[in-house]
Amino acid sequence: MAPNVAGLAETFPKLLVRNAHLYGSRPAMRHKDLGIWQTWTWSQVLNLVRAYAAGLHRLGVKRGETIAIVGGNRPKLYWSVMAAQMLGAIPVPVYADAVADELAYVLAHAEVRFAAVEDQEQVDKILSVTKSVPKLEMMFYDETRGLRDYDHSQLRSMDDVIEEGRKALADTAVADWLDKEIAAGKGSDPSIILYTSGTTGASKGVILTNERSIRAAADTVAFDKLTENDVALAYLPLAWVGDHYLNYAQGMVSGFCTACPESPDTAMADLREIGPSFYFAPPRTLELLLTRVMIRMEDAGFIKRKLFHYFVGVARRYGERILNGQPVPLIGRLLYGVGNLLVYGPLKNVLGFSRVRVAYTAGEAVGPDLFSFYRSIGLNLKQLYGQTEAFLYVTAQPDGEIYSDTVGPACPNVDIRISDNGEVQFKSPGMFSGYFKDDAKTAEVMTPDGYVKTGDAGFFDEKTGHLKIIDRTKDVGKLNDGTIFPPKYIENKLKFYPNIREAVALGDKRDFVTVMLNIDLTAVGSWAERNNVVYGSYQELAGHPLVYDMVEKHVAEVNRSLAEDKVMAGAQIRRFLILHKELDADDGELTRTQKVRRSFIAERYAPLIKALYDGSTDADISTEVTFEDGRKGTISARVKIRDMKNEPTPVLGKAA
């Protein structure tokens, strides 16, 4: 069935009304609560959101005001977004795992008077910073547990707000008023403010409008043929553009069902139960899933293990060709069919991918082996490239044109160009209208002729016509000998190995490249168990000589890969160390979308960086850490440093 994108409304509240009319009895949202899946149809969602909006209006929410949304993927938080938009207010989602100070910054900057929050944890965080958020007047909470004895003068249950709104709507005058409010909404009105991850400094509030967001979502709904029969699992952070686009906007445009997991910890189990047909996962999640599979296979019996590895080999030979509709010998098709019966089908079922028709990954480069593995077992995994300022999609891979080292051609109605300094710039249907309260930054990121500067360096591949992203433009540097140094390119090569979770490459304006690494505790912990390596903590495992030996082999393989590229051969890794702690967003080392904050890390780990370049074999470091309850502590360690042998550098212009 073709996606129904004809005659779309210009605002999200009008789309909700349309969906209740077109798909009234079809499921709009599901949520697993206390082990049981609850379902709401489009008609039920419309009635609930109308009541919620009426209740919010009675409490003073007005058109043009901002309302914070703080928590995980829960129906009432999505309904909070819908209800705010119905009143012409602007929802401002905040990352659920943001520490109190980060939360306070967004709430104060966005000038919120009201906040819709998930539970006691979020209420406590906001209460702890109320002096920093002077305009905040009231919070509405979803989960009642633990909040009964709190002062409710500025605290209300969402259920109570909805119930009061339902009673108010019994008055036809109130119902008529709400209908007029919905009708008064304009496509040019702001529909949401999404704050950037803050990789280079303070987060910026990206203003997105109704009409532009709906136009962008309509293009990709048609591109991937999404319909009201599709199902998506909403487990991505509410404050991230990916969730708001992939689940909220596309769901509202196509009418598909959005399913919310019981909790972040049960998301993968809930994925298997719900069986989505549309799925998104960042490379890190795909790596984690595959790592768990491989660990389980190492513990399986001899026959199962041999069977698995044999048919994975068959899949690597024939799987992608079959998925792409390319010719495959009869014997290959027969072997693949047996493999699908014995291995690929059961594996996809265990992972929750049995019904997935379209899957995407983005955010970081995905390893070619990882990408190929999922496609070879029959998962239609593709790549996209996007930004908050574009309302996500800038490029996406069409079916049948899938390459692990590209992010696809421009999406429908998107125009891309490469500037003289190699920066990717775009115009798109969903592009933002500006940064909230920051005209200077808005002007800085826009070109005179209306293109958005992405800050990413890239180029179009001559063979495929697809875009390739190298690194952040500002991060691409040079070694002292003139060799180009794109740190992210090197870091991604290292992170292709399951044992390496995070990497920070150094080398700009220096004589050679060094890296600081985090190991993946799950993968390396499993390896340690199989090899009788005893450890008591992450710090102890990270500093173990055998772990260094294992990681050294990965670094050597990356150097061999770099040596094959004449341009990158001089950027081989000369020295490396394994950090004594995992890089953490709570400690300010990563953004909430898990991107490295380079300048902060350079300052915090200055003693280690100095040791990497002065020839030391180890260095002492003390690092402040933030615990889950907000308390601070210190971790001290002596970190070892290893030297690497570099591969011969080919001479430019001659055969390697």
Q: What is the CATH number of the domain that holds 206?
A: 3.40.50.12780
Confidence of residue 243 (pLDDT cuts 50, 70, 90): very high
At 197 the pLDDT is: 73
Do the domain assignments include residue 353?
A: no
Do the domain assignments include residue 359?
A: no
Last residue of a domain, one of 261, 280, 299: 280
Do 572 and 439 belong together in one domain?
no
Confidence of residue 7 (pLDDT cuts 50, 70, 90): low
Please tell me the total count of domains within the chain: 3
Do 433 and 454 belong together in one domain?
yes
At 1 the pLDDT is: 52
Record the pTM.
0.82
Confidence of residue 12 (pLDDT cuts 50, 70, 90): very high
Taking the C-alpha atoms of residue 236 and residue 258, their distance in angstroms, rounded to an integer, is: 12
Distance of CA 130 to the CA centre of its chain: 29
Please say if the pLDDT value at position 568 is more than 90.
no
Do 459 and 591 belong together in one domain?
no
Domain that holds residue 513: 476-643
At 198 the pLDDT is: 65
Q: What is the CATH number of the domain that holds 527?
A: 3.30.300.30
Do 467 and 489 belong together in one domain?
no
The candidate with the shortest Cα–Cα distance to 453, out of 406, 485, 416, 489, is: 416
Do 245 and 112 belong together in one domain?
yes
Do the domain assignments include residue 341?
A: no
Residue showing tokens 């699908």: 340
Last residue of a domain, one of 417, 441, 474: 474
pLDDT tens, position by position, 445-457: 999 999 999 999 8
CA atoms within 13 A on the CB side of 600: 19
Average pLDDT, rounded, for the chain: 92
pLDDT tens, position by position, 432-482: 999 999 999 999 999 999 999 999 988 898 889 999 888 888 888 889 999
Confidence of residue 199 (pLDDT cuts 50, 70, 90): low
Please say if the pLDDT value at position 53 is more than 60.
yes
Do 177 and 75 belong together in one domain?
yes
What are the residues facing 204 on neighbouring strands? none
Do the domain assignments include residue 568?
A: yes
At 351 the pLDDT is: 93
Please say if the pLDDT value at position 330 is more than 80.
yes
**Angle of the 75-86 helix axis to the 42-58 helix axis, nearest 10:** 60
Do the domain assignments include residue 71?
A: yes
Do 572 and 460 belong together in one domain?
no
E strand spans, 250-357: 257-260, 278-280
At 653 the pLDDT is: 47
Confidence of residue 106 (pLDDT cuts 50, 70, 90): very high
Last residue of a domain, one of 229, 246, 280: 280
pLDDT tens, position by position, 219-234: 999 999 999 999 999 9
Confidence of residue 332 (pLDDT cuts 50, 70, 90): very high
Do the domain assignments include residue 126?
A: yes
Do the domain assignments include residue 651?
A: no
Task: Give whole-number Cα distances, 82 to 46, 197, 243, 361, 625, in Å.
Answer: 9, 23, 14, 27, 38
The candidate with the shortest Cα–Cα distance to 504, out of 521, 516, 514, 518, is: 516
Do 468 and 489 belong together in one domain?
no
Do the domain assignments include residue 572?
A: yes
Do 190 and 220 belong together in one domain?
yes
Tokens representing 637 are: 């360690």
List phi, psi (to 5°) of 575.
-145, 155
Do 483 and 468 belong together in one domain?
no
Do 121 and 207 belong together in one domain?
yes
Q: What integer is the mean pLDDT of 418-427? A: 92
What are the residues facing 207 on neighbouring strands? 193, 434
Please say if the pLDDT value at position 654 is more than 60.
no
Q: What is the CATH number of the domain that holds 448?
A: 2.30.38.10
At 627 the pLDDT is: 77
At 472 the pLDDT is: 81
Do 493 and 467 belong together in one domain?
no
Q: What integer is the mean pLDDT of 179-208? A: 89
Please say if the pLDDT value at position 565 is more than 80.
no
Higher pLDDT, 378 or 99: 378
At 569 the pLDDT is: 87
